Structure 1
């Protein structure tokens, strides 16, 4: 699989469908008040950069980086791999891309929120393998039994 990563076209129909599917999956595993996955309008914010992964013309995943209010930190958002391509290392590929971009922005750390349910165990393992550690809620989040918060310091 020859995957490319580029800035997402948020108005392209396959990308809009991917984000809608991602949000629906999050709502299947978390109560609505605990689901922080964004829809297209949330991804169009000026503090958000969104990428898509494609194998040729086929959309296989996405990820986003949100700049936080301190100007030195970023939040990983909307990491998603299409179900049939999971387990092929695409999440790792996107995570490395987001981490490289965060370093280019001179961020000192990356943070994220993910689910605490068993369905999110593969995501938590991916982040832990890449040096993320558990922490408390940050920037607008609240303690929630359905959420796990993680962070990783970034080297220069």
Structure 2
């Protein structure tokens, strides 16, 4: 499968199906106060860059970055179960990080959960290192905070 990664509107019905699937995956894993799921309208704001990976008309993955003053926060990275194991998450991360660099952000940060070993493994393979909470996040035993320099 060859996927094309492009800027996408999170409100597009085909993209929204994938975001809803991500929500259904995340909600049972963590208590509500530990789920930092941005809603569709927030994902559509000017400081957001959101991408989807398409194979034909099928949306296979998504993710984006929230552009803060001096860093980009990785948000909503998800690959459909039928597309896992094909390197799509890495390709999405490469595109998201490229966008962050193009907008002048040289640091990427993220928050993920302790019950997502695949995500933690991916981020660590990509060079993300553990750090403390950032932005509006508070210390949370269910969260792992990470960052990477985008030089």
TM above 0.5, one fold?
yes
TM-score range, shorter chain: over 0.9
1:132 to 128, 138, 145: 128
Taking structure 1 as the reference length, the TM-score comes to 0.92
Separation in 1 of the partners of 2:52 and 2:106?
A: 24
Tell me whether 1:14 sits opposite 2:14 in the alignment. yes
Separation in 1 of the partners of 2:97 and 2:50?
A: 13
Separation in 1 of the partners of 2:97 and 2:34?
A: 25
Q: Which residue is equivalent to 1:38?
A: 38
Gaps in structure 2 of 5+ consecutive residues: none
Separation in 1 of the partners of 2:82 and 2:2?
A: 16
| Cα displacement string for residues 2-41 of structure 1 (whole angstroms, at most 9, x for unaligned residues) | 1101111333212112111111211011111100122212
User: How many residues in Structure 1 have an aligned counterpart in Structure 2?
Assistant: 151
| Preserved contact between residue 72 and residue 107 of structure 2 (Cα < 8 Å) | yes
Separation in 2 of the partners of 1:61 and 1:154?
A: 22
Separation in 2 of the partners of 1:20 and 1:58?
A: 15
Gaps in structure 1 of 5+ consecutive residues: none
| Preserved contact between residue 10 and residue 16 of structure 1 (Cα < 8 Å) | yes
RMSD: 1.0
Taking structure 2 as the reference length, the TM-score comes to 0.95
